[in-house]
Amino acid sequence: MRKYLYLSAVCVCMALCFVGCSKDDDEPGGKYDEKKVLSRIVNEEFVIQFVSGAREHDPCLGGKKLWHMYRKHFEGNSPVGRDRFEYILDKHNLKVRKKKRKPRTTDSRHGLPTYPNQAKSYIPTQANRLWVSDITYIPIHVNESKHIFCYLSLILDAYSKEIVGWAVGETLETSHCIHALRMALKRVDVTSGKELIHHSDRGCQYASKEYTSLLREYGITISMTEDGNPKDNAQAERINNTLKNELLKGKSFCDIKEVREAVEKAVLFYNTERPHMSINMMTPQEAATHTGEIKKGWTSYRDIAIKNLQTENIITNKCLSLGA
């Protein structure tokens, strides 16, 4: 209680100084209700100090709870009404900003067939042996207070790190993913497709009849994540992050046309000019011309674990054959 009495005294002093200055500035003969203005300033400053004090204990305390505490302090007879209280919070930027809700791009709650994870223990040794796919969102700012989302479908070659297919759509419809897939399929034919694995999450777009039928048409093996763990599709998640938080960082879009133009430029730069640590500082297009293992600029514990497992399996099989 002493704390709030002290705050009240401070508020009164501040208000008196303000009123004194304001009164001197008033034109002669002008109407001026000193008592009313003083009361308003004191009440507003007290609200600010009250909220600041409460936030010291709970930085994310919301306006509704703060109003309840404020009324309780005055035993229901608060000098500031609820609307005025909210106005003061907004005026002095004291409202807790709600975390922006991210749109959900994966819907695995469907009755469509799913497929086992064929990429978990696979390390490709040339391009067009393993593709990974994913969908991410990009905001479009309609005006200062409103934004909508468009959706970017990507297909990445896991060996060369080249973006081989992409499409930007206004919705999460399967047609946009198919557009990206058709772009990627220009690189393969029915024969080479039989050596290719297509890996994705279990979203309804990738499990759809239209999408899987197109993969089967080229003889491509279908692989999907086993659960919601993002590590099961880590490479696709990583390229999403690179595009949004590096190549498109700081860019603001007003319509989907601007997004498509920016993505097209970003993909071209990424594929042809940007060096990549996991392919020995080559560009993805340069790496696509190579075969065999490419030296990484960092240690891949996943690759080490897979190679160790493969070695153990070879030794086990040899021992079994000798025993037979």
Residue 122 inside a domain? The answer is no
Phi, psi at 32, each rounded to 5°: -150, 115
143 plus 241 within the same structural domain? yes
Burial category of 166 from C-beta neighbours within 10 Å (exposed 0-12, middle 13-18, buried 19 and up)? buried
170 plus 80 within the same structural domain? no
DSSP string covering 79-108: SS-HHHHHHHHHHTT-SPPPPPPPPP----
Q: What is the pLDDT of residues 72-129, one digit of tens each?
A: 887 766 678 888 888 888 888 887 765 555 666 666 676 789 999 999 889 999 999 9
Look at the alpha carbons of 177, 179, 181, 183 in this order and tell me if their dihedral is positive or negative.
Answer: negative
| pLDDT recorded at residue 11 | 47
Query: What's the rounded Cα separation, in Å, for the pair 266 and 56?
Result: 44
Domain that holds residue 47: 2-91
Q: What is the pLDDT of residues 231-281, one digit of tens each?
A: 788 899 899 989 988 899 889 999 999 999 999 999 999 999 999 999 999
63 plus 164 within the same structural domain? no
> The domain spanning residue 204 has which CATH number?
3.30.420.10
Residue 103 inside a domain? The answer is no
| Count of domains observed in the chain | 2
β-pairing, 163-169 vs 197-200, is unpaired
| pLDDT recorded at residue 226 | 86
Residue 318 inside a domain? The answer is no
Query: What's the rounded Cα separation, in Å, for the pair 262 and 168?
Result: 11
35 plus 168 within the same structural domain? no
Residue 316 inside a domain? The answer is no
Q: Would you give the DSSP letter of residue 25?
A: H
User: Residue 22: pLDDT band by 50, 70, 90 thresholds?
Assistant: very low
Instruction: Looking at mean pLDDT, say which of 69-73, 177-181, 301-305, 315-319 comes out highest.
Output: 177-181
64 plus 199 within the same structural domain? no
147 plus 266 within the same structural domain? yes
32 plus 166 within the same structural domain? no
Q: What is the pLDDT of residues 150-205, one digit of tens each?
A: 999 999 999 999 999 999 999 999 999 999 999 999 999 888 889 999 999 999 99
259 plus 208 within the same structural domain? yes
242 plus 155 within the same structural domain? yes
Residue 322 inside a domain? The answer is no
- Its pTM stands at 0.66
